[in-house]
Amino acid sequence: MSAAAEDTVERAVVLLSGGLDSATVLAAAIHAGFECHALSFRYGQRHDAELAAAARVAQALGAASHRVIGIELGSIGGSALTDADIPVPEAPTEGIPATYVPARNSVFLALGMGLAEVLDAGHLFIGVNAVDYSGYPDCRPEFIEAFQALASIATRRAVEGAPLALHAPLIRLTKAEIIRHGVALGVDYGLTVSCYQADETGAACGRCEACRLRRAGFEAAGLPDPTRYRD
Amino acid sequence: MSAAAEDTVERAVVLLSGGLDSATVLAAAIHAGFECHALSFRYGQRHDAELAAAARVAQALGAASHRVIGIELGSIGGSALTDADIPVPEAPTEGIPATYVPARNSVFLALGMGLAEVLDAGHLFIGVNAVDYSGYPDCRPEFIEAFQALASIATRRAVEGAPLALHAPLIRLTKAEIIRHGVALGVDYGLTVSCYQADETGAACGRCEACRLRRAGFEAAGLPDPTRYRD
């Protein structure tokens, strides 16, 4: 990471959900020498446990700052994650699951792009993953490529010849590879919350799709799972 | 507009700021036969006069619904429109002006894309304009093209083979052409607010760049300017 090794430290914005993937990305970006500004969103999630987890992770890993932007995404509805009338599925589903939040990553990346511009940060990191993922259309490599194309012209930086670089370093890794990578970087996954229906203390249900993917990841990695489960 | 002329009315989401351009777009989309759902944003603007104007315009033109989504964009700062410490310029400036809100149209379009998905709307309208515009990077035709490319893969609709169509019908029109178009469609521009520093009643300062562009537009169109100015 030659640029970061130079005198002037390069700034990055890192989207941080409080889950396993984005914690790994933050650790990797800090390890690579970036001054990392973490950004989380309060968008009508059913619980605040993941925001509390994001704050713990940002502090533990040494982020330079951590912001939470509120968005009234719940007023749009349409997802089991933001609409209390749609149940969180506990069995694998065909196609795009009910936990998909319409256009969520587009909204989050656009806000991350705005913060990057204000902070004069040239890099934006997101922990999307296209292997052990949940079938969301905005977690695919072609989505990331399209957003990079947008970022290359959408901002003041772009007009001035220094467009934002979008990084999705986990996109082709399995969950087990992500976990091994993070453990090697010193991430304490006990601080993170992946569960779609964690309780207020962050304890996981162990049954939803996010819990299943996470548990299977630790098993495949051959590493102990530090997740606190409710039952 | 063959699709809209058929039995099933096609739905569209129309971004509505309360200003002159987006009111014209809403009138045009309704005239074309779309069932139009207007979407406005409360993002830390200095005044609520433009949101009140958006509500008046949506009702007067016959939008099927009007939603306001709140975004804490002000916590990012970086613009004279959302940061009280940055003055609104009253003289023309070189380059991108202080009123540019970082990544604003990317954020708004991403949220409009999410609402379109929830409403099963196949069309998204925005009133950006690249002729008599304010030098914002996200008002250029290449920005709209890049966002269309993103919309073509970012959502459930896209995966299912019916990607959202993005429309920016004003992009190559002069302000005078926009005004003539809207007057022909019956838009009452007295309901709209363009001023960056309107008072709580919606009365305009007459001095900021938005006021100057608007006034010059009515003059060039040879039409009476219904704007209420404070002085």
A155 reaches B (C-beta below 8 A) = yes
Q: Where are the beta strands (DSSP E) in chain A?
A: 11-15, 35-42, 65-70, 123-125, 165-167
Residues contacting residue B229 through CB under 8 Å, at least 6 positions apart = B203, B204, B205, B206, B211
Average pLDDT, chain A: 86
The secondary structure of residue B229, as a DSSP letter, is: B
Give the Cα separation of A41 and A109 in Å (integer): 11
Looking at the domain B2-221, which fold is it? Rossmann fold (3.40.50)
pLDDT for the residue numbered A3: 46
For residue A43, is pLDDT > 50?
yes
Return the residue of B nearest to A142 by Cα. B153
Are A69 and B71 within 8 A, CB to CB?
Answer: yes
Cα–Cα dist A186/B154, whole Å: 33
Q: Distance (Å) from the C-alpha of residue B43 to the closest C-alpha of chain A?
A: 9
Per-block average pLDDT, block size 10, for chain B (231 residues)? 60 96 98 96 79 96 93 66 60 59 89 91 94 74 95 86 93 95 96 89 90 94 94 72
- B99: Cα separation from own chain's centroid: 15
> Can you spell out the DSSP letters for A105-172?
HHHHHHHHHHHHHHHT--EEE----SSS----GGGSHHHHHHHHHHHTTSSHHHHTT-PPEEE-TTTT
pTM of the predicted structure, to 2 decimals: 0.89
Q: Quote the percentage of chain A above a pLDDT of 90.
A: 57
At B1 the pLDDT is: 44
Residues of B in contact with A159 (CB under 8 A): 96, 137
Name which of A135, A129, A165 is nearest A149 in CA terms.
Answer: A165
What pLDDT, on a 0 to 100 scale, did the predictor assign at position B121? 94
Q: What's the mean pLDDT in A190-206?
A: 90
Which amino acid is present at A173?
Answer: L
pLDDT reading at A4 higher than 50: no
Confidence of residue A78 (pLDDT cuts 50, 70, 90): low
Give the pLDDT score at A131: 78
b/e for B136-164, b at 16 or more Cβ within 10 A? bbbbbeebbebbbbbbbbbbbbbbeeebb
**How far apart, in whole angstroms, are the C-alpha atoms of residue B207 and residue A71?**
32
pLDDT at B85: 65
Mutate to test the interface with A, among B41, B86, B150, B157 (most CBs of A within 10 A): B150
- Chain A: closest CA distance from residue B14 (Å): 14
Q: For A127-173, what is each residue's pLDDT tens digit?
A: 998 875 566 888 889 999 999 999 999 888 888 888 899 999 999 99
Collapse the DSSP code of A10 into the 3-class scheme (helix H, G, I; strand E, B; otherwise coil) and give the result: coil
Q: How far apart are alpha carbons A125 and A29 in whole angstroms?
A: 8
